[in-house]
Amino acid sequence: MSATSVVVGGSSGIGLAIARRRTERGDHVVVTSRSAERAATAAAELPGPAHGIALDLTAPSSIAEVFAGTERVDNLVVTATERSGTTVAELDTDAALRAVNSKVVGSLELARVLHPRFSPHASVVLFGGVAKDRPTPESTVATVPTQAVSGMVATLAVQLAPHRVNAVHPGVVGDSPRWADVTDHPSIARTPIGRLVTVAEVVDATEFLLTNTGVNGQDLHVDGGTLLI
Ligand SMILES: NC(=O)c1ccc[n+]([C@@H]2O[C@H](COP(=O)([O-])OP(=O)(O)OC[C@H]3O[C@@H](n4cnc5c(N)ncnc54)[C@H](OP(=O)(O)O)[C@@H]3O)[C@@H](O)[C@H]2O)c1
């Protein structure tokens, strides 16, 4: 029986690349999008068995129903994020609630709903980012839920034990759809490797966390060393 990988946020960017790697490894992959059509399109692009489902993490109470047909989970990866860059002065409380609901309450509810269906060696990878430790004025509403990712890793690694729970915190990912058109990103000058990290490097880090059975409760920074400068 092939493994089932659920990639919440697998309709684009890093999540789609993780979904592709998982199908190449022979998994059946479930990708999500807020739009059923985008989810189906992403699943159809993958080089193996996959299907898409519609899920909006800003409505966490919908999660149980959305996954009613998912019987077994071997890998749960949550890359989904609501883009939420803003300063405190420009705070939009509705947007802030959506960002926190989707990143934090959504991930906790995913864990609650799917944990009973975890196979014995199933593990979870959550996604934060460099905004956790390197806030910019515009990152306020991103930095707070991203910090919460570390808190969720800690509490979920204990509560879902023996299942492992880890997080990837990418730096600016130069070839992700978000930044691919931006040349000379200011982060390059602050990154010791002299360039931005790549989607492939972030996918490799995710694979490491999914497959190394001794690594648990970790925040893995994939940022080219930018926190050192
Ligand atoms: N790209 C970077 O440079 C970078 C840097 C640091 C951290 N990260 C983190 O890495 C992860 C992936 O980033 P990315 O650049 O690949 O993102 P992306 O291309 O913008 O993809 C975001 C995914 O999240 C889904 N999504 C958005 N809002 C959602 C919601 N309310 N409910 C459910 N799904 C939702 C999107 O689905 P639809 O739009 O199809 O609905 C899409 O599948 C994120 O957690 C991000 O914070 C990325």
pLDDT tens-digit profile of 175-188? 999 999 999 999 99
Q: Domain for residue 32, yes or no?
A: yes
Joined tokens for residue 16:
């789609």
Beta bridge partners of 30: 6, 51
Joined tokens for residue 73:
């989970």
Q: How far is the CA of 150 from the centre of ligand 1 (A)?
A: 18
Q: Report which protein residue has its CA nearest ligand 1's atom 19.
A: 13
Number of H helices and number of E strands within the chain? 7, 7
Confidence (pLDDT) at 99:
93
Q: How far is the CA of 214 from the centre of ligand 1 (A)?
A: 28
Confidence (pLDDT) at 84:
76
Joined tokens for residue 166:
């880890």
Q: Domain for residue 211, yes or no?
A: no
Nearest ligand 1 atom to alpha carbon 106: 32
Q: Which of 6, 18, 30, 34 has the most ligand 1 atoms within 8 A of CB, as the residue to mutate?
A: 34
Q: Domain for residue 66, yes or no?
A: yes
Alpha helices in the chain (DSSP H): 13-24, 36-45, 63-66, 93-100, 106-114, 140-159, 199-211
CB atoms within 10 A of CB 42: 25
Q: Domain for residue 154, yes or no?
A: yes
Q: Domain for residue 213, yes or no?
A: no
> Which domain does 165 fall in, by range?
4-169
Instruction: Output DSSP code: residue 195.
Output: S
Average pLDDT over residues 102-130: 97
Q: Could you tell me the CATH number of the domain that includes residue 128?
A: 3.40.50.720
Q: Domain for residue 17, yes or no?
A: yes
Q: Domain for residue 91, yes or no?
A: yes
Confidence (pLDDT) at 68:
96
Confidence (pLDDT) at 140:
85
Q: Domain for residue 185, yes or no?
A: no
Q: How far is the CA of 88 from the centre of ligand 1 (A)?
A: 22
Q: Which residues line ligand 1 (CB under 6 A)?
A: 9, 11-15, 33-35, 38, 55-58, 79-82, 102, 127, 129-130, 170, 172-173, 176-179
Nearest ligand 1 atom to alpha carbon 78: 45
Q: Which of 6, 7, 8, 14 has the most ligand 1 atoms within 8 A of CB, as the residue to mutate?
A: 14
Average pLDDT over residues 184-202: 96
Joined tokens for residue 23:
């199908």
> Residues 28-54: pLDDT tens digits?
999 999 999 999 999 999 999 999 999
Q: Residue 90: CB partners within 8 Å, gap ≥ 6?
A: none
Is the Cα dihedral 80, 85, 89, 92 positive or negative? Answer: negative
Q: Are strands 164-170 and 118-127 parallel, antiparallel or unpaired?
A: parallel
Nearest ligand 1 atom to alpha carbon 35: 41
Q: What are phi and psi of 139, to 5 degrees?
A: -95, 5
Q: How far is the CA of 80 from the centre of ligand 1 (A)?
A: 4
Mean of the per-residue pLDDT values of the chain? 96
Q: How far is the CA of 42 from the centre of ligand 1 (A)?
A: 14
Hey, what amino acid is at 37? E
Q: How many domains does the chain have?
A: 1
Nearest ligand 1 atom to alpha carbon 127: 45
